Structure 1
Amino acid sequence: MKKQKFSVGEFFQGLGKTFMLPVALLAFMGLMLGIGSSFSSPSTIDKFPFLDYAFLQVIFRFMSTIGGFAFTYLPLLFAMAIPLGLARQEKGVAAFSGLVGYIIMHLSINFYLTETKGLAASEHLREAGQGMVLGIQTLEMGVLGGIIVGIIVYLLHKRFYTIQLPDAFAFFGGPRFIPIISSLVLAIVGIILPMIWPFFALGIAAIGELIQKAGVFGPFLFGAGERLLLPFGLHHILVAMIRFTEAGGTEVVNGNTISGALNIFYAQLQSGGPISPDATAFLSQGKMPTFMFGLPAAALAMYQVALPERRSKVKGLLISGVLACFVTGITEPIEFLFLFIAPALYFFHVIMTGLGFMVMALLHVVIGNTDGGVLDFLIFGVMQGTDTKWYLVILVGIIWFIVYYLVFRWAIKKFNLKTPGREPLTKDEIERSDAELNHGKGSQYDAARILNALGGATNIADLDNCITRLRLVVNDMGVVNDAELTASGALGVMKLDATSLQVIIGSQVAGVKNEIAHLMEDEHHDKN
């Protein structure tokens, strides 16, 4: 029994590592999307007219378009990254099968919805929990859809990538069988999912009705519910209900009856009249304590508890995630760093987000819009005057920063959570010194000289590298010239046994290894 628990834990730890590839892209693209969309929005241009130049706006729109890629296709990226990261062999086939399986699943969902007359009209997609995926109208499943596909494809890959079929079908055996079996299995999954999904939609509708009747607890339920539904891609339904329907309130503005929190805010902003705290209670202000203060504090805690040897590797990821979150309200690059690794911390984050909405509402802060980042804070808070009570966001935010920092730091250390930078050190990493990590930065190496010192291409049976070292298997250790390798710039030479050798190069090792591999290939071609 203990062995089974360990294997399950090991699987989820490995699963968390596979998320780093799409999350790293997400963090960078989030900055581009946030900056581009923020500085090209009409409200920003109204407040900062100097941005209203055609050339600048073309650049901002371009950034917004490119940055939106990762968010539009994030589920697909997960569907490919999970089998790619978890598979031990034939990784390319695993990623390709993830792509195939993801498309097949959504085609199957579309087929079911079409046959059962369940396709929603284009103007009601969000309310119906549907969306467009690669041009296919399907269920809006968010990253959960990609994760489902990725895990299924990985399990199929693990089971079948070495399968041998009868001679008549032998061509379809081995790795070629993986996209085939993935297509069949995920086609069936796509038929089953629409039968289950309506129960989620019914639950969300009930939450919307509860929010409307909950009084001061309504903002809490909305903020917590929106974060809770985010990993499942269902938060769009709740957000659309509150922003655009009676669930978000109804008010008369300039003689017109307006429903939905965001509709009310924009109508009041345009009319120049007073802004209703009842409407903004469900908008940007509620996110600000968490987005501008809480999650950056969580990132700081994750950085400080990372292993010293790993901090430099995770610093860039955390900084870009913090900037995306603080500036534009794009939180996924930070949330996905702990969502699946530490679900309890994510639940804490859910509660704190809900409390942020409730506290802002109780303090009668009136800052609208949708993003919850510093741009919303400045444009719809500070620049609208003290009537918005923007200064209270800072006071509450300081409390959120302290609470998030202390809770994340304590929980990660107490339960040894494998947040970024806390993965166990490998043997190679334990052996590496600071001198080795820094050696070779900006240096040029003579790959031909190193190859000759190793005895030439014919003496190398296997060539690879880790982060700082060439790792080799040689045919004759006696012809390896240690002094010549050192003179070529190597930090040291380690002979592990009669044929295994490590040459410590430093941070430029990948380039050196590739140059040596090219020289070996050229020498091989010349002989042939």
Structure 2
Amino acid sequence: MQKTKAALWEFLQGLGKTFMLPVALLAFCGIMLGIGSSLSSEAVTDNLPFLKAEVFHLVFTWMASTGLVAFNFLPVLFAMAIPLGLAREDKGVAAFSGFVGYAAMNLAVNFYLTAKDVDFEDEKTVAHYGIADVLGVQSIDTGLLGAVAVGIVVSVLHRRFRAQRMPDALAFFGGLRFVPIISALVLSVLGLLIPLVWPTFNGWITSVGRGIGHTGVFGPFFFGMGEVLLRPIGLHHILVAMFRFTDVGGSGAVCGDNVSGALSMFYAHLDCSGPPSQAVTEATHFLSQGKMAAYLGGLPGAALAMYHCARREMRPEVKALLVSGVVACVVGGITEPLEFLFLFIAPWLYVIHAVLVGLGFLTAAVLGVFIGNTDGNVIDWLVFGVLQGTTTKWYLVPVIAAVWFAAYYFLFRWAITRFDLKTPGREEPEPPDAVGTDEAPSEETGADGSGDEAAAPREPVAAERELVGGKYDAEAMLDAIGGAGNIQSLDNCITRLRMTVQDAALVDEARLKKLGAVGVMKLDAHNVQVVIGPQVQSVKDAIATMLPVG
């Protein structure tokens, strides 16, 4: 039972991580689409006539067209990214098989509908089945859910048949070549079942979406709060994807096409002229304007409170830590470096933070702020708010952020002093011999320490070692994790190392923090996450080179 639970947990962690590759592309394409569509719109060119020049028009329409690549092909991107992310070896074959499986499934759906003499021109039939053009084939638009199902099935097939042996006469089709073959066969069979079950299943999803819609502005409130509460265990990506790309986040006609998912509807609106429909407006309540209260105001206010509550002699040490966290939050929309400074010290304060994020979503919805996109950072505010004109009500965001800044600042300052929370810079200094080495302990904490270890001396680094990103000793971190033999699998998401280990008890949390980790989460006896920050990919790659191959 324990092994099954650990395996399920590892799978969910890995699945959430695989979403990051297409979502990162989507965020970039969204910025391209936002800039291109706004600077080529009549509203902007009428005020800035020089933008009507043909060269500008061509550049901006090209940017908008490029931005559509992720939106138009999003399901197939997920179908490829999921097996790519879940595969531990031969990732290229897994991704290729994901595309093959997705195409085979939709061709099988088309075969079934054609064999049943389904009328592709009848509006009621099209609505009943959800028929749409998918990769040039008249199929059923299963959206993100179908793509996720394909990705999971292909991942299982890849793991099972990657080393498949065949008789000598068929040896050419064995091994890795067999993976896309079996993927095509299995997904083709599953595709025949989709027309039988999808209308009912899609009806259930639509009912959930309508139920959330009937909660009004409280829907975004619970969504925003839920995302924050799930973030420490890394499952927030799954919740977010449901709202962004399925009927749970809303659905409706946009520019003549039926579109599902809050983010999909928002991007579809960007690509057409005219004011947003009510369906688009309500769906966009689940997007980034809801985060801006906390991201642009609240968490920077919490950082300032932690700075002012630090011991005066330690403020220069924690300043770099807090400033880097604020920059990551405001510019990059990455909140973990700040959130993990108080999550483990005062979990109840993190719950209050989650409620305040939810209230930010509710406030933006009540005031009718219409900005959209994914990250909630200052780039989203500029590109999808300011550049789109006053109809987005972008001018309300600084006001809301200022209120949240004050609320977080006074709440955190009161909580830290009232309950003597050991936020960075409030710990008692350690004696010189507390580090446990023959070398004199360094008093430099650096920009990447945190939590109750933020003021602890950094562990000495061998002079000949090259530090990753100029500050992370990958070899020492591997040793603190329990050595290469303790790691069963190693991967990363945007800010964290995600590991399956033989024994989580061997992971030295205190030492990892002295080596620069922002936080360490032991989810169970085998699953561990180490929060690094923006340099996590480089740290992961450096550690991976020290692990045994295979």
Q: Which 5+ residue runs of structure 2 have no aligned equivalent?
A: 224-238, 259-268, 304-320, 335-349, 374-379, 413-448, 451-458, 471-537, 542-550
Cα contact 2:290–2:362 (8 A) shared by 1: no
Aligned 8 A contact 2:33 2:68 in 1:
yes
Q: C-alpha distance in 2, partners of 1:48/1:122? A: 46
Q: Distance in 2 between matches of 1:58 and 1:130?
A: 34
Deviations 1:423-482 (A, max 9, x none): xxxxxxx997798445999xxxxxxxxxxxxxxxxxxxxxxxxxxxxxxxxxxxxxxxxx
TM-superposition CA deviations, 1:46-70 (whole Å, max 9, x none): 4443322211121111122223222
Q: Does 1:33 align with 2:33?
A: yes
Matched, 1:192 2:205: no
- Contact conserved, 2:79 with 2:98, CA < 8 A, in 1? yes
**TM-score of the pair, normalised by structure 2:** 0.50
Secondary structure (helix, strand or coil) at the match of 2:138 reads strand
CA deviation vs aligned residue, 1:233-290 (integer Å, no higher than 9, x gap):
3368624399999xxxxxxxxxxxxxxxx9xxx98x7xxxxx99x8996376785641
What displacement does 1:180 show? 1.4
Q: Which residue of 1 aligns with 2:317?
A: none
The C-alpha deviation readout for 1:29-82, integer Å capped at 9, x for no partner, is 333232222222333334443322211121111122223222322332332233
| Deviation (angstroms), 1:120 | 5.1
Residue in structure 2 matched with residue 107 of structure 1 by the alignment: 107
Mapped to 2, the partners of 1:174 and 1:200 lie a distance apart of 36
The one-letter code sitting in structure 2 at the alignment partner of 1:178 is: V
Change (3 A) 1:162 1:439: closer
Task: Count matched residues.
Answer: 362
2:253 equivalent in structure 1:
240
Aligned residue for 1:132, secondary structure, equals strand
Mapping of 1:57-456 within 5 angstroms?
57-116=57-116, 121=121, 129-203=130-204, 206=207, 217-218=215-216, 220-221=218-219, 229-230=242-243, 233-234=246-247, 238-240=251-253, 282=282, 287=287, 289-290=289-290, 292-294=292-294, 322=333, 359=363, 362=366, 365=368, 373-374=381-382, 377-378=385-386, 382=390, 392-397=396-401, 436-437=465-466
1:24–1:436 distance in 2 versus 1, CA, 3 Å: farther
- Name 1:427's counterpart in structure 2: none
Q: CA deviation at 1:315?
A: 11
1:419-498 → structure 2 map (5 Å cutoff): 436-437=465-466
* Aligned partner letter, 1:167: D
| 8 A contact 1:284–1:376 mirrored in 2 | no
Checking the alignment, whether the CA contact within 8 Å between 1:142 and 1:231 is kept in structure 2 is: no
User: Closer, same or farther in 2 for the Cα pair 1:42/1:381, shift >3 Å?
Assistant: closer
Letter in 2 for 1:25: L
Contact 2:84–2:95 (CA under 8 A) maintained in structure 1: yes
Tell me, in whole angstroms, the C-alpha distance in 2 between the residues paired with 1:224 and 1:148: 26
RMSD across aligned positions (CA): 5.7
Taking structure 1 as the reference length, the TM-score comes to 0.52
Instruction: In structure 2, give the amino acid aligned to 1:7.
Output: A
The residue identity in structure 2 corresponding to 1:155 is V
**Matched residues in 1 for 2:247 and 2:280: separation?**
22
Q: Cα offset for 1:101? A: 0.8
Q: Deviations over 1:149-181 (max 9, x none)?
A: 222112112112222233333332222221111
SS state at 2:253 partner = helix
- 1:137 is paired with a residue whose SS is strand
- In the alignment, the residues of structure 1 paired with residue 201 and residue 96 of structure 2 have an alpha-carbon distance, to the nearest angstrom, of 30
Label 1:204 to 1:180 Cα distance change in 2 as closer, same or farther (>3 A): closer
**Closer/same/farther in 2, CA of residues 147 and 395 from structure 1, 3 Å limit:** same
Please say if residues 35 and 60 of structure 1, whose CA atoms lie closer than 8 Å, have aligned partners that are also in contact. Answer: yes
Helix, strand or coil at the partner of 1:138: strand
Distance 1:318 1:27, change over 3 A: farther
Q: Secondary structure at the match of 2:251?
A: helix
- Contact 1:130–1:137 (Cα < 8 Å) also in 2: yes
Paired with 2:287 and 2:98, the residues of 1 have a C-alpha distance of 34
What SS class does the counterpart of residue 199 from structure 1 fall into? helix
User: Offset of 1:126 from its aligned partner?
Assistant: 8.3
CA contact (8 A) 2:220 2:362 kept: no
Q: 1:279–1:45: structure 2 CA closer, same or farther, 3 Å change rule?
A: farther
> What is aligned with 1:416?
none
SS in 2 for 1:131: strand
> Structure 2: how far apart are the matches of 1:140 and 1:293?
35
Question: Retained in 2: the 8 A contact 1:223–1:357?
Answer: yes
Alpha-carbon offset, residue 104 of structure 1: 0.5
Q: What letter is aligned with 1:94?
A: A
Paired residue secondary structure (1:282): helix
Gaps of 5+ in 1: 246-261, 270-274, 304-309, 324-344, 408-420, 423-429, 442-506, 511-528
Contact 2:371/2:394, CA 8 A, preserved across alignment: no
Q: Structure 1 residues 119 and 439, CA, compared in 2 at 3 Å: closer, same or farther?
A: same
1:286-329 deviation digits (Å, cap 9, x = unpaired): 8564154456689999x9xxxxxx99x99999888649xxxxxx
Distance 2:469 2:364 in 1: 53
Q: Residues 251 and 279 of structure 2 are in contact (CA less than 8 Å); yes or no, is this contact kept in structure 1?
A: no
1:447 alignment partner in structure 2: none
Question: Is the CA contact 2:371–2:381 (under 8 Å) kept in the aligned structure 1?
Answer: no
Q: Tell me the distance in 2 between the aligned counterparts of 1:25 and 1:177.
A: 30
Q: In structure 2, give the amino acid aligned to 1:230.
A: F
Residue 129 of structure 2 contacts residue 199 of structure 2 at CA under 8 Å; is this kept in 1?
A: no
